[in-house]
Structure 1
Amino acid sequence: MPIYFAYGRLMNPKTMASRCPHAKALGPASMDGYRFIVTSEGVPSMVKAPGKRVHGVLWDCRIGEVAIVDGAEALFRKGLDKVFLPVRSDGQNKSAIMYMSRTVRTGKPHVKAWEGVLEAAEHWDFPETYREELRQWDLR
């Protein structure tokens, strides 16, 4: 089954369950060498940044659910790429599907794209420094 790396609203178990009820959480994961941003379109993304890390959640999705995730991301798609990159989980590298913006311009989070992000970071017990980084985006 495909593995999806969520680092925005689909990290939230309630949001993911409403979209992909058969997806199974594999737990927290991270991307080294990237930092979290909110693009000028208001959607979460990440950009290369040596020494930084983006935290997220790995989901084991059914094949048919990948199309649902594609659709959820397409709601805000304005220059997003679907990519397969290695993420770190439980001390291992795993290849995962994720979505990244082509723009690096930053802006304020769009209400729908931001919904549940902070709650998910708390739920998955991300490091406090990372949660604070996310809260700073929330204040924009």
Structure 2
Amino acid sequence: MKTKLYIAYGSNMDEGQMAFRCPKAKLKGVSEVKDCRLIFKGSKTGAYATIEKAKGQKVPVVLWEIEPTDEHNLDRYEGFPTFYYKQWLELDLDGEKIQGMVYMMDHDRKLGQPSYHYYKTLEDAYEKFGFDKAILEKALEDSSVEGDEDVN
């Protein structure tokens, strides 16, 4: 069975969630996506993490080896191809260049604030894997909807 490397930067960094969604997935390690930033963007159901190009910035990620059934489950969970699309990225894993598949949100989606539970899932993963929490905090700050006049 052909496997591929999946790059997780959002709630799928959580091992419990991945065990539930993708029971055959195997944790392969951690890395970072260079020249990208983490940001939260919204939909009708809330705001979720995505990454977008940003020179000089980086996003810490968890790498999973997934099988086709896992990818199918992720496609449904991520709302592929309507909400997220897939892209292949090259990154470093233990000194070796590797290719991995990542879900990215359409750039035209509006910025938004994630729910407490969703953000806490990411925060816990950052702590578990020793990632720099300042990156996550900056994403939250950068996702604030400035000038929102609907403050009834």
TM-score strictly above 0.5? yes
Give unmatched runs, 5+ long, in structure 1: none
> TM-score with structure 1 length normalisation?
0.84
SS in 2 for 1:88: strand
Give unmatched runs, 5+ long, in structure 2: 146-152
Q: CA RMSD in A?
A: 2.6
- Once the two structures are overlaid, the 10-residue window that deviates more, 79-88 or 126-135, is 126-135
Match of 1:85 among 59, 82, 89: 89
Instruction: Provide closer, same or farther for how the CA distance between residues 113 and 100 of structure 1 changes in structure 2, counting only shifts above 3 A.
Output: farther
Task: Give the deviation of 1:111 after TM superposition.
Answer: 5.9
**Given that residues 123 and 133 in structure 2 are in contact (C-alpha distance below 8 angstroms), is that contact kept between their aligned partners in structure 1?**
no
- In the other structure, the counterpart of 2:12 is 10
- In the other structure, the counterpart of 1:56 is 61
Q: Any runs of at least 4 consecutive aligned residues in structure 1 with deviations exceeding 6 A, and if so which?
A: 137-140
- Once the two structures are overlaid, the 10-residue window that deviates more, 66-75 or 32-41, is 66-75
- Once the two structures are overlaid, the 10-residue window that deviates more, 87-96 or 103-112, is 103-112
User: Matched residue pairs, number?
Assistant: 139
> TM-score with structure 2 length normalisation?
0.78
What amino acid maps onto 1:97 in structure 2?
Answer: M
State how far apart, in whole Å, the 2-side matches of 1:138 and 1:80 are: 18
Larger-gyration structure (1/2): 2
Deviations 1:72-119 (A, max 9, x none): 1118x7542111111222222211111111125321115675461111
Task: Give the deviation of 1:63 after TM superposition.
Answer: 1.8
